[in-house]
Amino acid sequence: MLQERVPDLSRRLSDFVEPDRVRREVYTDPAIFELEMQRIHERVWIYCGHESQVPKTGDYYAVQIGRQPMVMVRGADGKVNVLYNRCPHRGNLMVGDRQGSSGEFFRCSYHAWTFHHDGRLRSIPMMESGYAGTPYGKDHPDCSMKRAARVENYRGFVFASLSPEGPSLKEFLGEARVAFDDMCDRAPQGEVEVVPNCFRVIQKSNWKIFLENQLDALHPSVTHQSTGRAAHEVEKEIEKKTGHAPLSYHMLSAFATVTIDKWDNFQTLNYPHGHCILTGYMGLRPKDPDTLAYEKTLVDAYGHKRMEEILGVNIHHVLIYPGLSVQSPLQQLRAVRPLGVDRTLTEIWHFRLKGAPEAIYRRSLAYYNLVNSPATLVNADDLENFWKCHQGLSSEGGDWVSFARHFGRDIQNGERVETAANCGTSEAPMRNQMKAWARYMAAQ
């Protein structure tokens, strides 16, 4: 008898998630994906971009939030607004390019309605004669571009929520704020600016597979072994020849030199909204002249004690659920834009520490190129695994995905769930993300 292949949506959403495992449809069912976009991405705080992407009045950047095409734009008052990228007249996209300048105001390419950068209607051609006797005009709400329900900025990082309700951005981020604090504090001037190139990489897999991988401490020495070993060999050769290999070789060889048994030494910290922090492992504070010169700029700006505190923060990744992975010590982040149930866009940005020496920028730039470009020596093997994972989950070879590693050993510390000593490879981050997922999805 033929099997029924239509997903069984009579199942309650809570039946999809158990404390240590998740049903495969969570990753592969298009109906669940649509619901995720409505109940998660179009409600919670989503990262839009950094304010330095739109430095001048009228500068804009298009961004997708869930299923909604949005545009982030700098207003004449200096504020960054986030609007639906849609003309209220006939529905045309207001901007068709990914980025650019709208000048003094937005002007629709279809019938020349114009709008201020906060979305308010500015003019309609022959408005008085054309709309005489109708309620439409400048004061009618249907004649303005719709704004995101809430927009907030944390240290230059702009987030929007399409829901008028919910926690403030600061409450939502909670301790995961350290992602931005750590990045900005490392700048002698206390802020960062975007490097104006974005690597946009498409993953042929569900968005959650990427997020789960970000704090998966068991995978690096397996997935990235080939690059770790190759980089380690060349690193040794360079050291033999010149006495010193660039730090970028160390960043790659760590995948091989930190062997699989050592990854339990790290720790993940998990938070109620689904956010997680993975502590650092690469040892990014060598004693070379570039680092010492950089330390001096920090001492001049903040004093010695504060410099030690700033450089003592030991983080590899901070995951801000459901759409952002921040690597603060290397000043880069990946924003996740789900395109479909099996297709995900990541926008990968690099930032410059204002006031830091050029050498520090170049050091993290090397990592940005080697890890995050489409010629990546690292993510290529992740993307291969993500694709294979999604393919396998689409099969009927099993119903469940297991997150049982070190299950039952997590330590609840107030709101925070910490992995126990020697349990760094715990699948606690996945359990925590799915717990948050189930809570978001259950809210009508």
175 forms part of the interface with another protein (CB under 8 A) = no
E-strand stretches of 26-89 = 46-50, 59-65, 68-74, 80-84
Q: Which is nearer to another protein, 30 or 196 (CB)?
A: 196
| Least distance CB 232 / another protein (angstroms) | 9
350 forms part of the interface with another protein (CB under 8 A) = yes
| Least distance CB 194 / another protein (angstroms) | 11
Q: In this structure, are residues 332 and 368 in contact, taking their beta carbons and an 8 Å threshold? A: yes
Q: In this structure, are residues 178 and 335 in contact, taking their beta carbons and an 8 Å threshold? A: no
Q: In this structure, are residues 217 and 266 in contact, taking their beta carbons and an 8 Å threshold? A: yes
Tell me the window of 103-111, 142-150, 226-234, 276-284 that interacts with another protein (CB under 8 A).
Answer: 226-234
Given candidates 15, 77, 175, 233, which one binds another protein under the rule CB under 8 A? 233
Sequence-ordered alpha helix ranges (H) in 2-94? 25-28, 30-36
Which residues are paired to 5 by β-bridges? none
Omega before residue 286 within 30° of 0, cis: no
Given candidates 231, 277, 428, 436, which one binds another protein under the rule CB under 8 A? 231
State the Cα torsion 59-62-63-64 to the nearest 10°.
160
Q: How far is CA 153 from CA 49, 80, 106, 157, 352, in A?
A: 10, 9, 23, 5, 18
Q: Which is nearer to another protein, 358 or 399 (CB)?
A: 358
Q: Which is nearer to another protein, 376 or 419 (CB)?
A: 376
Tell me the window of 42-50, 276-284, 321-329, 355-363 that interacts with another protein (CB under 8 A).
Answer: 355-363
229 forms part of the interface with another protein (CB under 8 A) = yes
Q: Which of residues 54-93 bind another protein (CB under 8 A)?
A: none
Tell me the window of 58-66, 82-90, 106-114, 354-362 that interacts with another protein (CB under 8 A).
Answer: 354-362
260 forms part of the interface with another protein (CB under 8 A) = no
368 forms part of the interface with another protein (CB under 8 A) = yes
Q: Which is nearer to another protein, 12 or 241 (CB)?
A: 241
The DSSP output letter for 147 is B
The pair of structure tokens assigned to 285 is 């504070």
| Least distance CB 346 / another protein (angstroms) | 9
Q: Which is nearer to another protein, 83 or 378 (CB)?
A: 378
Rounded to 10 deg, the angle between the 289-302 and 358-372 helix axes is 120
Q: In what order do the strands lie in the sheet with 17-18?
A: 17-18, 21-23, 400-402
Q: Which is nearer to another protein, 202 or 442 (CB)?
A: 202
380 forms part of the interface with another protein (CB under 8 A) = yes
Given candidates 13, 37, 93, 195, which one binds another protein under the rule CB under 8 A? 195
How far is residue 6's CA from residue 313's CA, in Å, rounded to a whole number? 49
Q: In this structure, are residues 145 and 106 in contact, taking their beta carbons and an 8 Å threshold? A: yes
The secondary structure of the chain in percent helix, strand, coil, rounded to multiples of 5, reads: 35, 25, 40
How far is residue 105's CA from residue 113's CA, in Å, rounded to a whole number? 10
Instruction: Kindly report the three-state secondary structure assignment for every residue of 363-408.
Output: HHHHHHHHHHCCCCCCHHHHHHHHHHHHHHHCCCCCCEEECCCCCC
385 forms part of the interface with another protein (CB under 8 A) = yes
E-strand stretches of 97-243 = 99-101, 106-107, 114-115, 121-123, 150-154, 157-161, 192-194, 199-203
Which residues are paired to 162 by β-bridges? none
Given candidates 377, 401, 436, 441, which one binds another protein under the rule CB under 8 A? 377
Q: Which is nearer to another protein, 144 or 372 (CB)?
A: 372
13 forms part of the interface with another protein (CB under 8 A) = no
Q: In this structure, are residues 27 and 147 in contact, taking their beta carbons and an 8 Å threshold? A: no
| Least distance CB 387 / another protein (angstroms) | 9
Q: Which is nearer to another protein, 11 or 362 (CB)?
A: 362
Given candidates 13, 35, 218, 230, which one binds another protein under the rule CB under 8 A? 230
257 forms part of the interface with another protein (CB under 8 A) = no
Q: Which is nearer to another protein, 107 or 343 (CB)?
A: 343
Given candidates 127, 345, 404, 438, which one binds another protein under the rule CB under 8 A? 345
Tell me the window of 143-151, 182-190, 375-383, 413-421 that interacts with another protein (CB under 8 A).
Answer: 375-383
Q: Which residues bind another protein (CB under 8 A)?
A: 195, 197, 199-202, 223, 225-227, 229-231, 233-234, 237-238, 249, 252, 345, 350, 358, 361-362, 365, 368-370, 373-377, 379-381, 383-385
